Amino acid sequence: MQTIAKMEQVQAKAFSLRSYLETLESLYPEEIVRVSKTVRPAEYEVTAILKHLEDRSRFPVVFFENPLNLKGKPSPVPLVSNLYATRERCALALGTDPADCQLGLSLEYARRVEEPVPPVAIQRSEAPVKEVVKTGDEVDLAEYPIVRHHEMDPAPYVNMTPVMKDPDGGFYNSAFLRNMYKGPRKLGIHMSPRHNWQIHRKYEERGRPTPTAIIVSHHPAFYLGCLNVAPFGLDDYAVIGGIMGQPLRLTPSETLGEEFLVPADADFIIEGFVVPKAREVEAPFGEFTGYYGPQRLRPVIEVTAVTHRKDAIFQHTFVGHRDNWVMGGLPKEGAVYNVIRGVIPTVKSVHFALSGSCRFNCYISIDKKVEGEPKQAALAALGAVDFIKNVIVVDSDINVYNEQEVMFAVATRVQADRDIEFIKNVKGNTLDPSQLDDITTTKMLVDATRPVNRAFPERVRVPQEVLDRLRLEDYIPAKKLEKLPVFSDSVRSV
């Protein structure tokens, strides 16, 4: 009850990054660590600390109080990392119960996507993100703690969400895109052929620069909202408002005024234009797949302004790791579940597993009634989300959040020649290293369910009534139990 009351208190206020961190720190202080020692984000020290934690299976939010900037001097703003590395913290961001962070959270997200909340505009003078405004030559991105993530990255990268505005429809679109530091007022930008790419292409075909604002820091619900899979043409600011459960407050940008609005409660925003027809080498960059995307020719952004709160916090995601994976899968699961439910009402759960960077591998459980339902479910999932490459459909006795169980079903219920289908030449993902070209891939459908049209063996089990009757502590002392080693491969959760 105390948790819910506190969450309601927070939700009554405008969402901001600090409101989230205050809630997290008061309710779950064990979820956040503060590092007061100086770190050099541009020299991999931030990601080295995150990797050390990962190697110990620890995924806290890490607040770096004293990062250096790109000039090797103390940054005027601290840095926060790893906000999205657990589903529990994503649930907290959406104001839902962290204990219900599997399918319940995914379905709540999907429900909110269907109920967009129009944004509201406020004056610049009321907008916290305008407390510090730098334009033109006053801007120097090297003053900030931009993170260089992996060894082959050529530079530090801002890897949060550029927002663009469609020149025809007037709607805004946001997406996580990588932005390479190229100079005090210059960034490179990589866009896959998705929504922001479409918008940029329209401006470029007309010979016009594409206005953009990179929202570097905001409440995590804002960023989870950015990851919606709503159709192109819906205003992301309204969808994000739906996800947040309150209207997103907007304010005029420094660059284009009321023609281009930006989130008023952000901590830090970079404004600029994507230059038409300009291409420069960019990357390699360690991507969500866990591989580097190759160096290629990509557009550049001329930065026109930086605005931030006086006590701003700089944010990044640990791309190619759990922080970046969890946030990518969760917003898709509910949408896929709802599409499948339209054709297979007995669908039980949908999960994008960590093993596929929470994008490529989709596990679906159904309570199968007739043959053919598993492949129907798989086809529905593939139609709903283009990121999905491999679909495994299992029976409802298999927990799709436990990859070991999913692979048990594959091992014991699949005959490859009968139960696996391939669909060739389907749109894939430019960053999938197994693809031989930029666009197309082969999708795989695996039916790992038991047959219903013939007798099939039963799984072993110890009688439930005996399990219920027998308390382990009555046979092995509690202290001894606590000291027994736990083997991670026996409880690997995905």
- Residues at the site binding another protein, with contacts judged by CB under 8 A: 152-155, 281, 284, 291-297, 430-438
β-strands 179-183, 280-282 pairing = unpaired
Contact 334, 108 (CB under 8 A): yes
Q: What are phi and psi for residue 330, nearest 5 degrees?
A: -50, -45
* Nearest distance in Å: CB 354, another protein: 21
- Residue 22 or 280 having the CB closest to another protein: 280
Residue among 76, 104, 114, 85 at smallest CA distance from 308: 76
Nearer to another protein, 292 or 387 (CB): 292
**Amino acid at residue number 238:** A
Q: Name the E strands within 92-217.
A: 120-121, 132-135, 157-158, 161-165, 172-174, 179-183, 186-189, 210-217
Q: How far is CA 266 from the centre of its chain?
A: 18
Nearest to 67 by CA among 55, 75, 59: 75
DSSP state of 150: S
- Complex with another protein: residue 233 or 433, whichever CB lies closer: 433
Question: Which residue's CB is nearer to another protein, number 27 or number 152?
Answer: 152
- Residue (98 or 286) nearer to another protein, CB: 286
Question: What minimum distance in Å lies between the beta carbon of 71 and another protein?
Answer: 16
Compute the least distance from the CB of residue 296 to another protein, in Å: 4
**Which phi and psi angles does 264 have, rounded to 5°?**
-70, -25
Q: Between 67 and 286, whose beta carbon lies closer to another protein?
A: 286
Identity of residue 189: I
| Residue 429 beta carbon to another protein: minimum distance, rounded to whole angstroms | 8
Closest approach of another protein to the CB of residue 464, in Å? 49
Quote the least distance from Cβ 32 to another protein, whole Å: 32
Give the amino acid at 104.
G
Distance, CA of 254 to CA of 491 (rounded, Å): 51
Contact (CB, 8 A) for 359 and 388: yes
Nearer to another protein, 287 or 333 (CB): 287
Q: What is the sign of the dihedral through the CA atoms of 301, 305, 307 and 312? A: positive
- Closest approach of Cβ 162 to another protein, in Å? 21
C-alpha span between 41 and 39 (Å, rounded)? 6
CB nearer another protein, residue 253 or residue 324? 324
The pairing of strands 390-395 and 361-366 is parallel
CB of 183 to another protein, least distance (A): 13
Q: Which is nearer to another protein, 28 or 291 (CB)?
A: 291
Nearer to another protein, 437 or 489 (CB): 437
Do the Cβ atoms of 117 and 246 come closer than 8 Å? Answer: yes
Are the C-beta atoms of residues 315 and 79 closer than 8 Å to each other? yes
CA separation (Å) from 389 to 190, 326, 362, 375?
22, 17, 8, 14
**CB 149 to another protein: min, Å:** 12
Distance CA(416)–CA(82), nearest Å, equals 39
- Of the pair 76, 284, the CB lying nearest another protein is at 284
Give least dist CB 174 to another protein, A.
25
CA distance linking residue 386 with residue 134, whole number of Å: 39
Distance CA 478, CA 250 (A): 56
Burial (0-12, 13-18, 19+ Cβ within 10 Å), 153: buried
Instruction: Decide whether 64 or 288 has the Cβ nearer to another protein.
Output: 288
Whether a cis peptide bond, with omega within 30° of 0, leads into 284 is yes
Smallest separation, CB 289 to another protein (Å): 8
Look at residues 492, 488, 321, 325 and name the one whose alpha carbon lies nearest to residue 406: 492
Backbone angles phi, psi at 302, to 5 degrees: -90, 120
DSSP SS3 for 61: strand
Judged by CB, which is closer to another protein: 18, or 296? 296
CB of 375 to another protein, least distance (A): 28
